[in-house]
């Protein structure tokens, strides 16, 4: 059963949406992913994952709906690479605020960002709160294929540094759109020197501002050479299953305590 909200008419959408409905916006990116992956990697993964998760959740009784995804987002870390098409933080933030404001005019009260691009995470977190405060919308952010979210392992030669165009992303695209991957051009590019730092680095107590050509000019941070379609399938399906389960929680989620709840103390 189709779950594309915008394939309904305005009047049908109003009828279909309820306060426990969830509307899912995929957020991708169009950006350099190395010579072996398409510019649309993050966008296609976000859209495919979100679509599959919405459909699976709907089969399980969640009133979940899909929106057309945002292809162009905040890829400022790849600004230097031709083919990257990106929005500034102001423009992406305004875009999301205005989309949220529009959704808040419908009966739906829950908007989920299904994000496929790491460079959007922080801004989407800012946006989630802004939409909550200004329009009363419940907002949620789910990461498309980040290992930490999906429970997947990073590639074995990546030492936890496979964040862009590496083992995981390449595997997933090999699964979803193999004709768009050219493994003959896949080259390992892991900034191993970052391992020398104990406190500064990805996932460490101190984060740092970077652009992707800080590490290497090829636009890859990771090791795509170990990627396989099999692993991509496994990773993708685990993500989709987790997301569908999350949608079921979101449909009943409320930040406020339930009225009669025992054991909750508040001033």
Binding to a second copy (CB under 8 A): which residues in 34-53?
34-40, 43
Calpha distance 94→117 (Å, rounded)? 18
Among 61, 90, 184, 260, interactor with a second copy by CB under 8 A: 90
Pick the piece of the chain touching a second copy (CB under 8 A) from 56-64, 74-82, 226-234.
74-82
Hey, which residues between 236 and 265 contact a second copy (CB under 8 A)?
242, 245-246, 249-250, 253, 255-258, 261, 263-265
Among 1, 61, 184, 206, binds a second copy (CB under 8 A): 206
| Phi/psi of residue 55, nearest 5 degrees | -65, -40
- Provide the mask over 154-173, with x wherever binding to a second copy is found by CB under 8 A and - wherever it is not: --------------------
Residue closer to a second copy by CB (options 58, 66) is 66
**Which H or E run contains 147?**
helix 147-150
Question: Do 85 and 30 contact (CB within 8 A), yes or no?
Answer: yes
The helix (run of H) or strand (run of E) holding residue 234 is: helix 229-252
| Torsion sign over Cα 236, 240, 243, 249 | negative
Pick 62 or 246: Cβ nearer a second copy: 246
The binder of a second copy chosen from 218, 226, 227, 236 (CB under 8 A): 218
**174 exposure class (CB count in 10 Å sphere: 0-12, 13-18, 19+):** buried
């Amino acid at each position: 059963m189709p779950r594309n909200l915008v394939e309904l008419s305005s009047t049908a959408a109003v009828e279909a949406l309820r306060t426990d409905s969830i509307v899912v916006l995929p957020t991708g990116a169009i950006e350099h992913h190395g010579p072996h992956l398409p510019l649309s990697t993050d966008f296609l993964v976000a859209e495919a994952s979100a679509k599959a998760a919405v459909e699976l959740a709907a089969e399980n009784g969640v009133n979940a709906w899909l929106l057309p995804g945002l292809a162009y987002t905040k890829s400022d870390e790849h600004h230097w690479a031709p083919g990257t098409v990106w929005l500034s933080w102001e423009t992406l933030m305004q875009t999301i605020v205005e989309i949220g404001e529009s959704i808040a005019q419908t009966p739906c009260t829950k908007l989920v960002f299904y994000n496929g691009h790491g460079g959007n995470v922080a801004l989407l977190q800012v946006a989630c709160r802004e939409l909550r405060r200004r329009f009363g919308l419940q907002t949620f952010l789910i990461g498309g294929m980040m290992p930490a979210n999906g429970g997947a392992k990073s590639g074995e030669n990546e030492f936890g540094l496979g964040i862009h165009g590496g083992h995981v992303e390449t595997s997933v695209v090999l699964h979803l759109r193999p004709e768009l991957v050219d493994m003959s051009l896949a080259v390992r590019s892991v900034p191993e020197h970052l391992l020398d730092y104990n406190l500064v680095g990805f996932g460490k107590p101190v984060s740092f501002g970077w652009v992707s050509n800080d590490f290497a000019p090829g636009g890859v941070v990771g090791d795509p050479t170990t990627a396989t379609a099999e692993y991509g399938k496994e990773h993708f399906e685990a993500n989709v299953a987790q997301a569908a389960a999350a949608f079921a929680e979101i449909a009943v989620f409320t930040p406020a305590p339930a009225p009669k709840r025992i054991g909750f103390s508040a001033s």
